[in-house]
Amino acid sequence: MPSTARPHFIVLDACILMSGVLRPALLELAATGRYLPVWSARIGEEWRRNAARLWPIEPGVLEQEWALMQARFPQADAGEVAPYETGLRYSDAKDWHVIAAGLARRARSGLAAPPEVSVLTWNLKDFNRPELRRMGMDVLDPDRLLVRWWSEDAEPVAAVLRATVDGLAAAGRPRQGGMAEILRRERLYRLARLYAARHPDAQAADTAYAPGLPAMPFMPPRAAPG
């Protein structure tokens, strides 16, 4: 993140954490300073519960992954968020806690100038954009966000995507198809087109994991929970 850039806090909704490609890629981008991730205990609980319900993953594995995330990004947890739900009305009540996580993290940031705060989710319809704007927040889907970052500096984003897929392969995940194909599977359609246009010769060589595999298969369902 450039030193002159306004800090960008991004609340990762539970549905975002469900993907075995998107989650590690976003966390790696956070580690490079692209943005500051935000979550809460409730978001983590929803992610672990939904993942355990949808896939044959031991709860202990999910707990371990959550602990690793907390250790890697100790400032990401927004702490107690319930007081920040006060005044919310027009967004879906079940997602007030997600908005509140962003408000709580901003309030506790200690920054002299207010940071940019966004919610990242696939469930845009659950978040009333005018209400969030009145709170000084925005709501984005992953495709829009990654395309924005791609337009600013494409190669670091592409490198993280390749490293993520390579990491899945190193973990023993069978692979098939090209990078653009896996991006489309992740519903990152605009990003897939940009990647294919920038790396046309890499499509035959790039590989991607097949969904439905036993080792941490956090593929987002068509109707993503959370």
Helix (H, G, I), strand (E, B) or coil at 40: coil
pLDDT value for 224: 42
Q: Rounded to whole angstroms, how far apart are CA atoms 186 and 203?
A: 17
Q: Residues, the chain, total?
A: 226
Q: Are 35 and 116 in contact (CB under 8 A)?
A: no
User: How confident is the model at residue 200, as a pLDDT?
Assistant: 79
**pTM for the full model?**
0.87
Q: Which of 193, 194, 198, 191 is nearest to 143 (CA)?
A: 191
To the question of domain 8-140 being in CATH 3.10.50, the answer is no
Structure tokens at 171: 């973990």
138 forms beta bridges with 118
Which residues on adjacent β-strands are paired with residue 209? 175
Which of 207, 221, 203, 211 is closest to 167 using CA atoms? 207
Q: What is the torsional sign of CA 175, 179, 182, 186? A: positive
Question: Which helix (DSSP H) or strand (DSSP E) does residue 92 occupy?
Answer: none
The number of beta carbons lying within 10 Å of the beta carbon of residue 135 is 18
pLDDT value of position 203: 54
Q: What is the pLDDT of residue 51?
A: 94
Output the pLDDT for position 206.
Answer: 47
pLDDT of residue 207: 44
Q: Give just the sign of the alpha carbon dihedral 182, 184, 185, 188.
A: positive
pLDDT tens for the chain, 226 residues long, are 444 478 999 999 999 999 999 999 999 999 999 999 999 999 999 999 999 999 888 899 999 999 999 999 999 999 999 999 999 999 999 999 999 999 999 999 999 888 999 999 999 999 999 999 999 999 999 999 999 999 999 999 999 999 999 998 888 776 667 899 999 999 999 999 999 999 875 554 444 444 433 334 433 333 344 4
Report DSSP letters for 11-31, one per residue. EE-HHHHT-TTHHHHHHHHHH
Helix axes 59-72, 22-31, angle to 10 degrees: 20
Quote the pLDDT of residue 176. 63
Delimiting residues of CATH 3.40.50 domain(s) in the chain: 8-140
